[in-house]
Amino acid sequence: MTPIAELAAHAKAGELALQRCTACGAVQYPPRELCLSCLADALEWRVSDHEPGKVLATTTLHHSHDPQFRSRLPLRVGLVRLDAGPTTVCFLAEDCGTGTRVVVSAETDDADRAVLTAAPVQAGAR
């Protein structure tokens, strides 16, 4: 299975899977077949139901190149820096602005692709 298919398989089970290198410990996203840091072919999946992070930037899309999305516009999308290291492109739940502490979770879309969504950390929940 390709790394992106494995990401989707985990997402279908409600899990966010990041790759971790067993040789050097680097954590990476988007998934790939080698460690971006030491190039080892020794990657494992670090699986959780969500990963904490912080919103770096946000946008609201009013235009899409893909007709599948046009009925869903406007869509809120952002960049989230995970505490684990990588920056992820995410859909944003309500009340996610730049600087918001969030948790990022994964699910699959209509095309069975993994998609990540960031939601604000609930006060006192974490």
Partner 1 sequence: MMDYGDAVACAPVTVPYVRRSDKAAAWWLGSALRKLLEVSGVKKTQIEGLCLSSFTLAPDGPAPFVQYVGLSPRFLEFLPFGGACGVLALRRAARAVQCCDAEVVACIAGDTNGPTSFQDLVAQFSSFSRDCVWPYGAGGPNQSFALITEHAMRRTGATREDFGKLCVAQRRWAQRNPLALLRSELTLEDYLAARPIAEPLRLFDCVMPCAGADAFLVMHRSRAQALGLPCARILATIERHNAFPEDPIQWRGGWAMDADALWSQAALGPPDMDVVQTYDDYPVISMLQFEDLGFCAKDDGAEFIRRNDFAPGGNLRHNTGGGQLSCGQAGAAGGFLGMVEALRQLAADARHALVSGFGMVNYDRGLCTAAAVLAR
Least distance from C-beta 69 to partner 1, angstroms? 5
Distance CA 79, CA 76 (A): 11
Residue 5 contacts residue 33 (beta carbons within 8 Å): no
- Report if residue 47 touches partner 1, rule: CB under 8 A: no
- Report if residue 39 touches partner 1, rule: CB under 8 A: no
Distance CA 18, CA 11 (A): 11
Choosing from 19, 58, 100, 105, the residue that interacts with partner 1 (CB under 8 A) is 58
Distance CA 35, CA 7 (A): 16
Least distance from C-beta 12 to partner 1, angstroms? 14
- Report if residue 1 touches partner 1, rule: CB under 8 A: no
Distance CA 96, CA 99 (A): 8
- Report if residue 89 touches partner 1, rule: CB under 8 A: yes
β-pairing, 16-21 with 27-28? Answer: antiparallel
**Which region, judged by CB under 8 A, interacts with partner 1, from 17-25, 44-52, 53-61, 118-126?**
53-61
- Per CB under 8 A, residues contacting partner 1 are 4, 29-30, 56-66, 68-69, 72-73, 75, 77-79, 81, 87-91, 98, 109, 111, 113-115
